[in-house]
Chain A
Amino acid sequence: MTTVNITRQSMNQPWGLKIAGGRDFSVPLQIKKVDPSSPAAGYLSNGDAIKAIGGHSAEDLTHMQAHQLIKSAGNQLQLTVLKGMYEEPNLTSLKPKGPIKFSPWRNKQQ
């Protein structure tokens, strides 16, 4: 469990992060995307599970409740996260190159 404190210059500047999930979606709250060179960059990364927002437990929050809590944080945002819990699988390297064609003997070669 890691607690990070992020600051920004003004209320007009976005934190540069995308959150996803919430109790109402049956998906745990998590960090979905972090813009490089934003206040959140370096502190958070894609796939971190959000456990608390400003000391408020995130366990039972709906998506909009979490959204509002972060919105009302002012210029100081404190988040408690579990790093890398829901890292999005990057499958590009596994995908076949070129058109997808079925050849059952590929298994036997392996």
Chain B
Amino acid sequence: MANDYYADEDYMQEEDEWDREQLLDPAWEKQQKKTFTAWCNSHLRKAGTQIENIEEDFRNGLKLMLLLEVISGEQLPKPDRGRMRFHKIANVNKALDFIASKGVKLVSIGAEEIVDGNVKMTLGMIWTIILRFAIQDITVEELTAKEGLLLWCQRKTAPYKNVNVQNFHLSWKDGLAFCALIHRHRPELLDFYKLSRFLILLASSFKDGLAFCALIHRHRPDIIDYHSLSKDNPLENLNTAFDVAEKHLDIPRMLDPEDMVNSVKPDERSVMAYVSSYYHAFSGAQQAETAANRICKVLKVNQENERLMEEYERLASDLLAWIKKTTPWLENRTTDNTLPGTQRKLDEFRDYRRKQKPPKLEDKARLENSFNTLQTRLRLSNRPAYLPTEGKMVSDIANAWKGLELAEKGFEDWLLNELQRLERLDHLAQKFKHRCEIHEDWAEGKEDMLQSQDFKRCRLNDVKAMKKKHEAFESDLAAHQDRVEQIAAIAQELNALEYHDIVTVNQRCQRICEQWDRLGTLTASRRAALDEAENILEKIDSLHLEFAKRAAPFNNWLDGAKEDLLDMFIVHTTEEIQELFEAHEQFKSTLPEADKEFNAIMRLSQQAQSLSSSIGINNPENPYTTVNPQDIANKWGDVKQLVPQRDSILSGEMAKQQRNERLRREFAQKANSVGPWIENQLDAVASITIQSKGSLEDQLNKLHQYEKSVQQYKPHMDDLESINQEVQEAMIFENRYTHYTMETLRVGWEQLLTAIARNINEVENQILTRDSKGISEDQMNEFRLSFNHFDKNRTRRLEPKEFKACLVSLGYNIRDDRQGDADFQRIMSIVDPNHSGYVTFESFLDFMTRETADTDTAEQVMQSFKILAGDKPYITAQILRQELPPDQAEYCIQRMAPYGGRDSVPGALDYMSFSTALYGESDL
């Protein structure tokens, strides 16, 4: 309080400098003398005395001491009774000492000047007394006394539009402010006293009484057109206010209306002295305002809490519904067995992971935070703890979320594996098709050939040739055995891998196998037929024989080479493609040898041709082989063409593998910088609340800085995501350059976001608790120190055992026996009402400070309503609307039950049961 007073003094000193010239103006001195005299008399009359002349009547100090006794209600030392000058000085000094003992510095006011009747000194002293005893105790929102009084006037006159109080001089000249003050508190006085007079006044001039008209207008808008008024008749206004104040409020006239109107600037101290009397006269009404404020505060807390509960329930329902909808989808590990279908599923999963899940994770964090905030708020406002609806507890949400993450785990790996499998399958199916085509080409017409009766009309020679030819076919057939077996093996593998179009594959395979069997049978029967004919026919063409001998293997080699050159492959590393390269190079190195063989075979054919020509046979058939030179020449041409084609396919694949390698390195480089960054941030965030000795605001600042830097870091994650997508699209499944995967980075990133949000919320709740309970920073550190000491695994939660040790270390007397266990259980029931099985720092803090908190109780709220209700046991909607803001008034009217007491009136509402119901408690 003393500080406020000095602040005020400083302010007054500035005024003094300005006053110095003005004080020479006798009008001001006259006004102060008049006002201060009246002010002194308004108190002295309680002691049955008066003063006439302010500079004369205080000279002996006796009435001065009396004045101080009346206004302070305290006893001063016995006055000296003598009439000597030193007696007077002694008495004045006793008065001055008393003032000084109230914490007031009396700068340059001496007893001798008062005794000498110095006007300036006397007025200065009285002003000091007014300031200390009538104004200093006015506290509105912890402002200095003068500002407090000003704010009080501004609030009270706020509804009156043409009243604007800015100071304690000019703002009061037109008298409207005085009228407004009176009307605001005692409307009946002005209405009763002045209504008729003002109506006449309005009718005649429309110039004056603006404030009063405002007052009347407020109650009876039908009789006054407020907007047509002006403030041009101050004398009327001032007289009205001063009359009413004197007659009905017992405030003597301290100002002269003529002085107010005529002076350039009314004396500030006089106006303040007079206005302070209004404040004290209305301080009873102040009580109702305090009551209304308290109710308002409590109701606002309730409305906000209800809103938070609804929000929690809504968020929880939405989140649970989403989890319930999503989990089965993640648990379903089946595909339609096709590549496009599986790729679509992967796209859906990416969308889930990047677009759908992150906002839900935020929802979850928000849910937990708003739950904690709500519980803190409820504890701080002395309300029962909030229990969410069945199945919507924080733990339920956490469990459901855990279920979701469990279902999600491995989903992506499974999908990628599935993709890989399907791709391999597709490749295998192609291979199957290719081999079948080659085989079917070969088998084409073979059955007809084997069934042919051609040998019956032939010569011996021809038959012998036919037999040889057949033998050659048999070896060819044997050579094809491997191929058929390979086709069957591929079909079997496709079956084992559940290829989607297995029916077609099996049909084709079956057709080939059946034909193969038939060919075997037909070959045997033809051989028998030829054997039979062999006796009859013999002669062979040796030249043709030689051709056939060499052409057949060469032809086979050509078929094989062609097949190898068209062979399809799938590789994942540069090493694999390198191997294919080497194999191809080796193949190429055999080509010169093959070229020699080709030329030899061709020469044989040409020799046979020319030999036949020489004996007159054109186009002799070679009976030993079906391979004709033209085929060989064509195939050889094909092979030579296929070699460079193979070269370019292999080079293309090599380029692709090198690109993949670059992608791996690109991802690894980025991941190797992002990963450690996230880990460092996580460590740093965790260490803030654990190690920091700074204030909570410091911690909060730091956390906000981290939040910001994490937000700014987000583009790095986005970059990684797009690289990762490229990696996946390139079908790269392994990366030996980093141990980070996109999945581990995403999890780390989300942990970081969650940790920061949770820490911010916790620190904010601690600040809320600290501020509302007035805990010092030192005490806060003491609590934090002890809590952290026992929070060994840095989870910022204490297990019951740790919490017990913590309490003991803080001096709690919890014994190590059954009684101690029971005591501790009771403490746990307070600290952990939801039975979560651990103690957070917030609830620990709340427990340690629970008795120092100044909380609202049902009784306080009831008491406040009682003041508004004028001591009646019920309240009406009208009073509620008059005293409370509309929002809170309607809240009460909707919820209050009708009052059922015997003294009830129509529309009476039961505020008692309402108040108790707010806290879940009733006195009966």
A9 contacts B by Cβ under 8 Å: no
B811 contacts A by Cβ under 8 Å: yes
Say yes or no: B823 contacts A63, CB within 8 Å: no
| Chain B, 789-810, CB within 8 A of any chain A CB | 789, 805, 808-810
B922 contacts A by Cβ under 8 Å: yes
Residue of B nearest to A72 (CB): B900
Q: Tell me the bound Cα distance from A22 to B920 in angstroms.
A: 7
B712 contacts A by Cβ under 8 Å: no
Residue of A nearest to B847 (CB): A91
Say yes or no: B810 contacts A64, CB within 8 Å: no
Say yes or no: B387 contacts A89, CB within 8 Å: no
Q: How many A residues are at the interface, by size bracket?
A: 35 or more
Q: Tell me the bound Cα distance from A66 to B913 in angstroms.
A: 11
Say yes or no: B826 contacts A91, CB within 8 Å: yes
Given contacts A64-B917, A106-B808, contact A94 B922 (CB under 8 A): no
**Chain B 807-835 interface 0/1 with A at a Cβ cutoff of 8 Å (1 = within):** 01111111010000001001101100000
Say yes or no: A96 contacts B917, CB within 8 Å: no
Q: Tell me the bound Cα distance from A104 to B900 in angstroms.
A: 59
CB-CB under 8 A from A103, the residues of chain B are 809, 811
Given contacts A22-B920, A27-B384, contact A102 B813 (CB under 8 A): no
CB-CB under 8 A from B826, the residues of chain A are 89, 91
Q: Tell me the bound Cα distance from A106 to B916 in angstroms.
A: 43
| Chain B, 840-863, CB within 8 A of any chain A CB | 848
Closest-CB distance, B763 to chain A (whole angstroms): 20
Say yes or no: B811 contacts A63, CB within 8 Å: no
| Chain A, 1-48, CB within 8 A of any chain B CB | 14-15, 17-22, 24-27, 32
Given contacts A101-B810, A102-B810, contact A67 B920 (CB under 8 A): no
Q: Tell me the bound Cα distance from A10 to B333 in angstroms.
A: 74
Closest-CB distance, B760 to chain A (whole angstroms): 26
Q: Tell me the bound Cα distance from A66 to B387 in angstroms.
A: 20
Given contacts A14-B924, A27-B920, A89-B830, contact A94 B913 (CB under 8 A): no
**Chain B 368-397 interface 0/1 with A at a Cβ cutoff of 8 Å (1 = within):** 000000000000000010110000000000
Given contacts A67-B913, A89-B827, contact A106 B809 (CB under 8 A): yes
Neighbour of A94 across the interface among B813, B916, B917, B924, CB < 8 A: B813
Say yes or no: B808 contacts A64, CB within 8 Å: no
CB-CB under 8 A from B785, the residues of chain A are 102
Given contacts A64-B917, A101-B811, contact A25 B384 (CB under 8 A): yes
B782 contacts A by Cβ under 8 Å: yes
CB-CB under 8 A from B920, the residues of chain A are 20-22, 24-25, 27, 63
**Chain B 896-922 interface 0/1 with A at a Cβ cutoff of 8 Å (1 = within):** 010010000000000001001100111
Say yes or no: A89 contacts B829, CB within 8 Å: yes
A71 contacts B by Cβ under 8 Å: yes
CB-CB under 8 A from A91, the residues of chain B are 823, 826-827
A70 contacts B by Cβ under 8 Å: yes
Closest-CB distance, A75 to chain B (whole angstroms): 13
Given contacts A27-B384, A91-B827, A100-B848, contact A63 B922 (CB under 8 A): yes
CB-CB under 8 A from B810, the residues of chain A are 96, 100-102
Say yes or no: B923 contacts A94, CB within 8 Å: no
**Chain B 778-793 interface 0/1 with A at a Cβ cutoff of 8 Å (1 = within):** 0100100110010000
Say yes or no: B384 contacts A94, CB within 8 Å: no
Residue of A nearest to B895 (CB): A64
B interface size (C-beta, 8 A): 33
Closest-CB distance, A59 to chain B (whole angstroms): 15
Say yes or no: B924 contacts A71, CB within 8 Å: yes
Chain B CB count within 10 A is highest, among A95, A100, A102, for A102
Say yes or no: A18 contacts B823, CB within 8 Å: no
Say yes or no: B924 contacts A18, CB within 8 Å: yes
Residue of B nearest to A105 (CB): B809
Residue of A nearest to B822 (CB): A89
CB-CB under 8 A from A93, the residues of chain B are 813
Residue of B nearest to A109 (CB): B808
Say yes or no: A67 contacts B782, CB within 8 Å: no
Neighbour of B897 across the interface among A26, A64, A102, CB < 8 A: A64
**Chain B 518-530 interface 0/1 with A at a Cβ cutoff of 8 Å (1 = within):** 0000000000000
Given contacts A27-B384, A70-B924, contact A94 B897 (CB under 8 A): no
Say yes or no: B921 contacts A18, CB within 8 Å: yes
CB-CB under 8 A from B916, the residues of chain A are 63, 67
Closest-CB distance, A68 to chain B (whole angstroms): 8
Say yes or no: B786 contacts A102, CB within 8 Å: yes
Closest-CB distance, B450 to chain A (whole angstroms): 91
Residue of B nearest to A35 (CB): B923
Given contacts A89-B829, A94-B814, contact A102 B782 (CB under 8 A): yes
Residue of A nearest to B789 (CB): A104
Closest-CB distance, B659 to chain A (whole angstroms): 61
Given A14-B923, A19-B924, A67-B922, 19 more contacts at CB 8 Å? A18-B921, A18-B923, A18-B924, A20-B920, A20-B922, A22-B920, A26-B387, A27-B384, A63-B916, A64-B897, A89-B823, A93-B813, A94-B812, A94-B813, A94-B827, A98-B811, A100-B779, A106-B808, A106-B809
Q: List 11 A-B contacts (CB under 8 A).
A: A17-B924, A21-B920, A63-B917, A67-B916, A71-B900, A71-B924, A95-B813, A96-B813, A102-B809, A104-B786, A104-B789
**Could you tell me which B residues sit within 8 Å of A by CB distance?**
384, 386-387, 779, 782, 785-786, 789, 805, 808-814, 816, 823, 826-827, 829-830, 848, 897, 900, 913, 916-917, 920-924
Pairs of residues from A and B, 4 with the lowest C-beta to C-beta distance, nearest first: A96-B811, A89-B826, A26-B387, A102-B786
